[in-house]
């Protein structure tokens, strides 16, 4: 596809795709009102029965004059977006987007980024939620989902934000999921870092910035930051990506890059000698990060399993703490329960005595202890 012509590209490109779901919608024109029945994944007969029911209900006094059956093309990328309105010839969806416009003159970075987004979208119906949403090309700029909280690095360095551990672990899992998905599509990111993982309004992490990526082992146009670079290699591979993910997890948990403050040559030398920053102060993922740095994982899927396991292990004690009341409350509950049982016993004995003595047990019932 031509990388940058007009806004029309946005529509035409997606509309011609075979993966686009086709919805039926029915426009019902009556004398008084026009109803547009919500698009439904339903056979026409069902829609007609809906309208008939509708007519006998709300539209009792309106005479239905016309039915229109038409199709509505909604690109996958905006399928879940809010519908702000609908008319006879269109449905209008809301985009919360940015336009990424490129500085380089040769256009390689832009073309590469577009090629990656096309590759990720063209193989699968529906979009991977851990990848920034791509909407197409607008006058040469790439239109992408707006990430409300910007990149993770920016978010962590803002003094107002210190997210809880479970959020940080979720970012690690979402980033790994995204990279594993990229790899399954033949793409190597080549610049994985907290600077290229973005946060939406619910603090979900999404990987973006594919301007330097490699597709099908083609040369990559960018490279990892030194603190994220697998030593002794100039070719990207799943191992170099996993190394960079290790450094990314480190930054998420430590709030700073590995060996931050040291110069690049020093960092490179340290990595070559197999020296890494201490993982002791980290609250989680210590073994996983070390395994990333020391080349223990063959694939990102393997890494993803470990990250998921750690996320589960960390959330279990968290959950059980939430459901266990503090000790002093437990003591109080036990004392109250014992007292209640004693009262209940007393009350039962009382009934038995009174019933045995021909007394009306309704009176006994009225003396149930509080």
Ligand X SMILES: Nc1ncnc2c1ncn2[C@@H]1O[C@H](COP(=O)(O)OP(=O)(O)OP(=O)(O)O)[C@@H](O)[C@H]1O
**130 versus 288: smaller Cβ distance to ligand X:** 130
Distance between CA 190 and CA 210 in Å, rounded?
Answer: 8
- Counting contacts by CB under 5 A, is residue 288 touching Mg ion? no
**99 versus 283: smaller Cβ distance to ligand X:** 99
User: Which of ligand X, Mg ion, none does 227 bind, CB closer than 5 to 8 A by kind?
Assistant: none
CA distances from 123 to 19, 115, 117, 217, 239 (A): 9, 12, 11, 18, 24
CA torsion sign, 193 to 195 to 197 to 202? positive
- Counting contacts by CB under 6 A, is residue 147 touching ligand X? yes
Please tell me whether residue 22 adopts helix, strand or coil conformation: strand
Contact residue for ligand X among 85, 150, 325, 369 (CB under 6 A): 150
- Counting contacts by CB under 6 A, is residue 198 touching ligand X? yes
Stretch that binds ligand X, among 140-148, 276-284, 289-297, 356-364 (CB under 6 A): 140-148
Decide if 176 contacts 304 (C-beta within 8 A).
yes
Contact residue for ligand X among 177, 209, 225, 251 (CB under 6 A): 209
Decide if 194 contacts 248 (C-beta within 8 A).
yes
CB of 329 to Mg ion, least distance (A): 49
Task: Count other Cβ atoms within 10 Å, centred on residue 233.
Answer: 11
User: Which of Mg ion, ligand X, none does 223 bind, CB closer than 5 to 8 A by kind?
Assistant: none
User: Which of ligand X, Mg ion, none does 144 bind, CB closer than 5 to 8 A by kind?
Assistant: ligand X
Contact residue for ligand X among 78, 120, 131, 132 (CB under 6 A): 132
Binding track over 174-213 against Mg ion, x by CB under 5 A: ----------------------x------------x----
Distance between CA 238 and CA 311 in Å, rounded?
Answer: 22
- Counting contacts by CB under 6 A, is residue 130 touching ligand X? no
User: Which of ligand X, Mg ion, none does 8 bind, CB closer than 5 to 8 A by kind?
Assistant: none
Report which of 90, 99, 57, 85 is spatially closest to residue 72, judged by C-alpha positions: 90
Q: What are phi and psi of 64, to 5 degrees?
A: -80, 125
CA torsion sign, 291 to 293 to 294 to 296? positive
**Ranges within 81-100 binding ligand X (CB under 6 A):** 98, 100
Please tell me whether residue 184 adopts helix, strand or coil conformation: helix
Q: Which residues bind Mg ion (CB under 5 A)?
A: 196, 209
Q: Which residues bind ligand X (CB under 6 A)?
A: 98, 100, 132, 144-147, 150-151, 154, 195-196, 198, 208-209, 211
């Amino acid at each position: 596809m031509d990388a940058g012509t007009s806004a029309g590209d946005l529509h035409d490109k997606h509309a011609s795709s075979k993966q686009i779901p086709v919805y039926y919608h029915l426009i019902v024109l009556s004398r008084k009102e026009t109803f547009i029945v919500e698009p439904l994944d339903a056979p026409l007969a069902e829609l007609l029965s809906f309208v008939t029911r509708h007519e006998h209900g709300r539209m009792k006094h309106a005479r239905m004059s016309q039915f229109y059956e038409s199709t509505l093309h909604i690109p996958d990328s905006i399928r879940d977006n809010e519908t702000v309105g609908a008319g006879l010839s269109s449905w209008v969806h809301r985009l919360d987007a940015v336009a990424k416009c490129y500085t380089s003159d040769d256009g390689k970075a832009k073309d590469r980024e577009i090629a990656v987004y096309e590759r990720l979208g063209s193989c699968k119906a529906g979009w991977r939620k851990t990848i920034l949403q791509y909407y197409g090309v607008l006058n040469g700029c790439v239109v992408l989902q707006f990430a409300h909280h910007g990149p993770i690095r920016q978010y962590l360095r803002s003094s107002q934000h210190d997210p809880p551990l479970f959020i940080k672990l979720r970012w690690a899992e979402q980033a790994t999921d995204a990279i594993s998905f990229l790899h399954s599509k033949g793409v190597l990111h080549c610049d994985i870092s907290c600077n290229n993982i973005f946060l939406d309004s619910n603090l979900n992490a999404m990987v973006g910035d594919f301007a330097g990526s490699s597709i099908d082992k083609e040369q990559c146009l960018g490279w990892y930051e030194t603190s994220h670079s697998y030593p002794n290699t100039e070719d990207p591979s799943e191992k170099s990506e996993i190394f960079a993910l290790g450094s990314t997890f480190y930054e998420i948990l430590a709030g700073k890059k590995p060996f931050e403050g040291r110069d690049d040559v020093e960092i490179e030398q340290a990595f070559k000698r197999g020296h890494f920053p201490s993982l002791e102060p980290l609250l989680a993922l210590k073994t996983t990060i070390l395994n990333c740095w020391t080349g223990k994982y063959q694939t990102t899927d393997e890494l993803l399993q470990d990250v998921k396991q750690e996320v589960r292990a960390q959330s279990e004690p968290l959950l059980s703490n939430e459901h266990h009341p503090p000790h002093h409350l437990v003591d109080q509950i036990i004392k109250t329960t014992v007292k209640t049982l004693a009262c209940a016993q007393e009350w039962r004995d009382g009934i038995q005595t009174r019933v045995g003595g021909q007394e009306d047990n309704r009176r006994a019932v009225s003396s149930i202890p509080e």
